[in-house]
Every structure is written in structure tokens, then in C-alpha cells.
Structure 1
């Protein structure tokens, strides 16, 4: 299965951001991709008044993405903002396309490295998966990649591919952490990991935005055994990854971490193998 990774720089201009989605989705379909993945905050970049631009899942932004995906016959996964609680928003991923309609609200909020996402965002409470051509995909967003249990829960729900959409804030060592974490999550779960970040604004000749998370680029597709199948540069790009989903059984036979994992309870006791999955 071909998966397209659309590494873009979104802005505060929603119509311009949709044009980026339209252009990259069309190019992805022409390349034979069944799914095209965009970053977190595709609808509108961070550093803008998110409550003012947030829309429900049946609002105009989501509807035009649905229309585009139906027209092209491709599943589009992208980040948007939906209304949350107490004037906040939800950091939402929408996956939509032929036979697919799923959404995921970011569970782990980025209250780290001097940024407090929880000030403006309501946390999600449950995992989300969808299926394309018999393959199950799990969804996750940015800071989620630091929490292995979410990826294990997706795998327990049948996911062969874990998608992570990000607006990964730059800083000392951050690009290296991104690379390490997406590989680790693939190895933790013996799933393919498709990781799509916002492009690096500096590499694109754009000014920095203080502590606001934007991106470092380096989107990638990782095999269940931690190998890089496709990689993007820091700059905006469209990368096509060919996932041999049929090889998943072989990988899990060689590295049966899901079957071998034992839950350690609060008292320090280990449960029997294969009884470890906990859905957030």
C-alpha cells in the first residue's frame, strides 16, 4: 500500500491551507497513494487564536476536505481544531475518504519545554482507528509519541500502521528526539509508523515564532523493525512510502514484543504474557 506524507507549512490563512491540502492530495493520488497524511495543525498553524477558527466536524472546513477526498478517491488524514470545553479547543485529527470517517482528539497535551497546550486545548479521552483496504490504522498527535501505551492500545485494536501527525517544536536535540521516538514506537508495537511533521520554517526561509511549536520536518515512514522506508527533508515535500503490510506477520514472528509483554501492576507483580493492552 502506498502512503503519501505531505510535509507542509500551514499558516493562519485557512483558504491557503486548504489549497495546500488540495494540491498535495491530488499529487498523492496521481502517485497511486491510498492515504495521504498531513501534519497536526494543518487547518491553522499554532500561534493563532485557535478558539476563533475552531469548527465542528460537520463544519465548512471538514466538509470541504470530505468533498475533496471523495472527488479524488483517497483517504485524507490531517490536523484541525474543533470546539472544546471552557472556551478551549480540541486538537483533532480527521481521517476521511471512501468508506472512512474517523476522528481523534489528542490525548497527551504538550505541557513541556515551556509551552502549555492545556491552556487552550481540551484533552481527548479515547483512541481512534480506521481501516483502508483491510489494513487498520491508529491515530496519534505529536506529544503522544512520547507515550508508548497509546501505540500499544492502537496495536491491540488491530492497527498495523500507527500514524503520528505533528507540529514538532524546534530546540536543542529536538529533531534527534523525533527520529528516536518514531523508531521506538515502531519497535514497541511492531507496527509501521507513518510520521508527518510540519516543515521547518527556518529551512523554508520563514521567520521563527518564539516558543510556538511549528516543525522540524524530517517526516518518515518506519518499518515494524525500525528501518526507515522513506524520509523527508526539513523543507516542504511530498514523500511516498510503500508499506508491505503483508510482511507484518513475519516481523512479529521475529520480534514478538506484543505477545511477550507482561503488565506490571502497582505492587510490582507481572501478569501473564499477552494481557497488557490498556486503552487510554
Structure 2
């Protein structure tokens, strides 16, 4: 049995707001560079955006899918084991049925030893603002256990992109013990979209008294603008549209203090129940 990772006053998180193309090999080189930066910053966890393995603004589908033992996730596991940096990253998996003409939008969690801890399959597909993600992708099961990754004494729970618009998704992850909500995204650009992205991230932080680490993809057709929000709603880091990698410390003591002062989770009167 491996010893439990050390608990520290703050957990160091590297946000990789990178541009992603449909060239999977080039994207893996981008991931390698992000791991180097995270390692130099002595980060505990690296967060990559949605579709970090392969992306095109017109839509992602089966042509971008790789299995969990494919080159992208294998690289994540190898670099996590080599650097001691855990990673949360968006990828695209094959559909769940043989011969499926749709893929699965997923986030994988790899711990600092290189173990694949879990996979979140995106529940809310982006059928909005003129997009039809469901034509290329199949949704994950709404009743699947939330994906939560323990890193140095804090629990990181996973949402993906459009999930940010559904407060019950965040609340369900928090009910599973998450103190930090991680949101890998390729948030589509458009009228008011950057404003929505920021406002929703702040709202999810305040209502759940949780930190939010929202990592947007940079490049054509997407918004970028990654941000880190404290459990009190204060935005501690906010990027623009350009590719950038930044590292922040998430303070566990602040999380505990805010939840003591604002016990809204304890005071709530309704539970979240997945729909059929």
C-alpha cells in the first residue's frame, strides 16, 4: 500500500490554457511542455482544457477518439509518474458500443504516481447557441459517481465546459466531497459568452463555498479566459484569450474558513437527484 500523499497548507495548481489542433502528435508535444512548466513551478496538479488530445472548432467526433490505453492518456500517465505532478485533462474516447458513430467527451484524472484514478464522461452535451455536440458525441450517464481526485489533502471534483451552466452538476460533485471544482473547457466564443463564463464560474464558487479552477482552451473559435475563483467569490487569477500557463496556490485553510463563516451547504434544504 502506498503512503498517503502529504497534506500541505496550500495545493499548487498549474493551469494550461493551451491552443489545441487536430494534430494529435503536436498536441502531445504541447502537453509535454505543460508538464515541464508545472514541474519547474513545483505544482501538485496540472489542469489541461477540454479536448486537449485533439480539437477542431467545427466539432469533435469519432475521428478524434483515442482509447484510454492510447497515446494521449499513456503520455499523461508516464509524465505524471516521472514528475510527481497529478493531471486532469480533457480527451475524446471511442463510443461505448461497437461500431458507434459517436464518441465520448471525457476528462481523465491521473494521480502523481501515474495511476488512472477515474474518468468523467460529460453529461451535458453542448446543444445550444447553434451547436449540436450530440450529433458527434454521446452523453455520459447522469447517475455515474462524480469524479473526485485527492491531491495533497484537497479534493478536486470535475465538471466539463457546458456543465458549468447547470448548478446541480457542481452541487453533486461537492456532495461527493469536492472542495475545488475543476472545469476543463473549450468555451465557444460568441456574444456574451466570455461574460457568461466568468459569471458562472464565480456563481459556482459562491454557492458551493468551493474554489473553482476553470481552464479554457485558447485559439480559434474558443474563449480562453481561464480563471481561478476563491470560495468567497474573489477572482484570484484571470487570463485573456492568448495561450498561457500559470500556477496558483489553492489555500485549504481559506476553504475551511469560508465554509465556517458561510454555512450555506449545511443550511440547504434540497438534494440533487439525477433524472432518468
Q: 1:279 to 1:240 in 2, by over 3 A?
A: farther
- Is the alpha carbon distance of 1:145 and 1:48 closer, same or farther for their aligned partners in structure 2, counting shifts above 3 Å? closer
Query: Where do residues 186-197 of structure 1 align in structure 2 (5 Å cutoff)?
Result: 186-197=205-216
Instruction: Give, in whole Å, the separation in 2 of the partners of 1:69 and 1:109.
Output: 29
**Residues 1:244 and 2:263 are matched in the alignment:** no
Residues 148, 49 of structure 1: alpha-carbon distance in 2 compared, 3 angstrom cutoff: closer
1:52 maps to what in 2?
A: 63
Could you say what secondary structure the match of 1:5 adopts? strand
Q: Secondary structure at the match of 1:67?
A: helix
The alpha carbon displacement at 1:229 in A equals 1.5
Equivalent position to 1:124, from 105, 115, 140:
140
Whole-Å Cα distance in 2 between the matches of residues 141 and 41 of structure 1?
10
Q: Which residue of 2 aligns with 1:141?
A: 160
Q: d(CA) in 2 for partners of 1:257 and 1:278?
A: 19
Instruction: Say whether 1:259 aligns with 2:263.
Output: no
The change in CA–CA distance for 1:10 and 1:188 in structure 2 (over 3 A counts) is same
Q: By how many angstroms is 1:52 displaced?
A: 2.2
Per mean C-alpha deviation after superposition, the further-off stretch among 47-56 and 2-11 is: 47-56
Distance 2:201 2:85 in 1: 25
2:91 to 80, 88, 95: 80
Superposition deviation, residue 249 in structure 1: 1.7
Match of 2:43 among 33, 42, 45: 33
Post-superposition Cα deviations, 1:140-191, rounded to whole Å, max 9, x if no partner, equal: 1000000011111111111010100100111111100000000001111111
Instruction: Say what the alpha-carbon RMSD is for the aligned residues.
Output: 1.5
What is the rounded CA distance, in whole Å, between the counterparts of 1:71 and 1:254 in structure 2? 40
Alignment match, 1:270 = none
Structure 1 stretch displaced more, 254-263 or 164-173: 254-263
Give the 3-state SS of the residue equivalent to 2:269 in structure 1. Answer: coil
TM-score by length of 1: 0.88
SS class of match (2:159): strand
Normalised to the residue count of structure 2, the TM-score between the two structures is 0.89
Give the secondary structure class of the aligned counterpart of 1:239: strand
